[in-house]
Amino acid sequence: MEAPAVTLVGAGSHTVELSESGVGSIARIENSISGLEKVLENHQKKLYDAQNQLEASKAQLAQPFEQEQELQTVLSELANINALLDVDKTEDADALLPEVDENKKDVLDMGEEEDEAEYS
């Protein structure tokens, strides 16, 4: 069986379990109320910190990116390297196609030889 409880309702709600004695129940309610003040202080501090972080982030966002020129240079070099790699891939793929066909033929022949040996 659950212990009796009381719910304190305001902007939010908080439930407090009551004790068997009236004095104990009042002490629990008072402790709960004083605890809510500490919870409020903690939430106000977190809100203050979050607002400061937001303002700092907005200020940082408004500043230009300091390494923009270097980034553009590196991206340009990367694009050139990727273009060279793509050219090499196309040439290599064309050169390897006959070799791939020969390898497939060798594998198929090997499989047939194994099948013949198994049934002999």
| 83 and 58 housed in the same domain | no
pLDDT of amino acid 97 = 54
More confident: 81 or 93? 81
| 119 and 75 housed in the same domain | yes
Minimum mean pLDDT range among 53-57, 88-92, 112-116: 112-116
Domain boundary at 41, 63, 85, which? 63
Q: What distance in Å separates the CA atoms of residue 114 and residue 111, rounded to the nearest whole number?
A: 5
Phi first, then psi, for residue 17 (nearest 5°) are -75, 140
| 99 and 119 housed in the same domain | yes
Domain boundary at 63, 78, 105, which? 63
Q: Which two tokens stand for residue 46?
A: 């977190």
| 59 and 102 housed in the same domain | no
Q: How does residue 4 score in pLDDT terms, banded at 50, 70 and 90?
A: confident
pLDDT of amino acid 55 = 96
* 25-80 pLDDT, tens digit each: 889 888 888 888 888 899 999 999 999 999 999 999 999 889 999 999 999 999 99
| 40 and 13 housed in the same domain | yes
| 45 and 27 housed in the same domain | yes
pLDDT of amino acid 104 = 54
| 59 and 4 housed in the same domain | yes
- The residue type of 49 is D
Q: What distance in Å separates the CA atoms of residue 8 and residue 60, rounded to the nearest whole number?
A: 43
Beta bridge partners of 7: 15
Residue-averaged pLDDT of the chain: 80
pLDDT of amino acid 49 = 97
Task: Please state, in angstroms and as integers, the Cα–Cα distance from residue 23 to each residue in 19, 68, 86, following that order.
Answer: 8, 69, 82
| 2 and 59 housed in the same domain | yes
Beta bridge partners of 115: none
Q: What distance in Å separates the CA atoms of residue 31 and residue 41, rounded to the nearest whole number?
A: 16
| 1 and 40 housed in the same domain | yes
| 79 and 95 housed in the same domain | yes
Question: What domain range is 38 assigned to?
Answer: 1-63
Q: How large is the average pLDDT for residues 88-101?
A: 58
**How many domains are contained in the chain?**
2
| 1 and 56 housed in the same domain | yes
Q: How large is the average pLDDT for residues 102-114?
A: 57
Phi first, then psi, for residue 101 (nearest 5°) are -60, -40
Task: Please state, in angstroms and as integers, the Cα–Cα distance from residue 38 to each residue in 9, 43, 58, following that order.
Answer: 17, 9, 30
